[in-house]
């Protein structure tokens, strides 16, 4: 009996080590809890995030232990990447946003248009009457295909009734990045300097790569298998994140 217990404890211990290794070094699943990235990412989406994409910092590991200083094997993220990071406000909460500004960039909103280093980001209208969630409510938005320098394109949405019109210039410091949510008027992001602001490279957790599972929590729990035809968003399974 003692040998049986010992062997099972060893098995559980090794399994835990392997799980921590995979989660810390390779891939970690994340759940989307808010509507700040609609319509590209929906509440109820589950993603695989690669931890090795930008190298490793203490935030790569569970509970962010102080194992070393800075970031090792660092690879700079690319403009337009969808990134998971720890918010600078508490260095604990995970946020997911799109990378817009690199170190040294100047970002500004003028008359509702996004400018990067003095140049307006090209956007093409896709819809003028789409409904997106903002918390528990729905808002009417206009959706655009925005194209960043370098060629990265994605959908960004702005409220139809009122929107974030004008801002001061945001100048991204060295070793920091500027992030925006794709649901522009329902996102707490780098525009809010006291709550998120510029994100240091050490706060990067990983790059969102694959949407592997999705269910609609507004309809019901996934445990209600008799309603899976309504709850499950099967068309979103195993889609690459753009």
Q: Catalytic pick from 86, 97, 201, 207?
A: 97
Spatial strand order of the sheet with 113-116 comes to 119-120, 113-116, 106-110, 170-171
Q: Catalytic pick from 34, 35, 36, 190?
A: 36
Q: Is residue 185 reached through a cis peptide bond, with omega within 30 degrees of 0 on the bond before it?
A: no
Q: Which residues contact 222 (CB under 8 A, 6 or more apart)?
A: 215, 228, 231, 232
Active site includes 2?
no
Burial 43-78 (b: 16+ CB within 10 A, else e): bbbbbbbbbebbbbbbbbeeeeeeeeeebeeeeebe
The answer to whether 37 touches 95, Cβ cutoff 8 Å, is no
* Beta bridge partner(s), residue 170: 107
Active site includes 227?
no
Task: State the catalytic residues.
Answer: 36, 97
């Amino acid at each position: 009996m003692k040998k049986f217990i010992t062997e099972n404890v060893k098995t559980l211990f090794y399994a835990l080590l392997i799980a921590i290794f995979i989660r810390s070094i390779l891939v970690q699943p994340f759940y989307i809890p808010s509507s700040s990235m609609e319509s590209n990412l929906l509440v109820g989406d589950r993603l695989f995030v690669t931890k090795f994409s930008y190298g490793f910092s203490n935030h790569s590991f569970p509970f962010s232990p102080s194992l070393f200083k800075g970031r090792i094997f660092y690879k700079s993220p690319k403009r337009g990447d969808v990134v998971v990071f720890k918010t600078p406000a508490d260095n604990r909460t995970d946020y997911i946003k799109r990378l817009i500004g690199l170190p040294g960039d100047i970002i500004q909103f003028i008359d509702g248009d996004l400018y990067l280093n003095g140049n307006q980001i090209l956007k093409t209208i896709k819809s003028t009457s789409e409904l997106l969630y903002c918390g528990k409510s729905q808002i009417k938005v206009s959706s655009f295909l925005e194209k960043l320098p370098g060629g990265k394109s994605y959908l960004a949405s702005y409220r139809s009734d009122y929107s974030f019109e004008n801002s001061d210039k945001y100048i991204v410091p060295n070793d920091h990045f500027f992030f925006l949510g794709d649901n522009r008027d329902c996102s707490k992001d780098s525009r809010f300097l006291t709550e998120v602001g510029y994100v240091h490279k050490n706060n990067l957790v990983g790059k969102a790569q694959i949407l592997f599972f999705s269910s609609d929590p507004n309809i019901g729990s996934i445990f209600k298998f008799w309603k899976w035809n309504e709850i499950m968003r099967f068309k979103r399974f195993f889609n690459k994140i753009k």
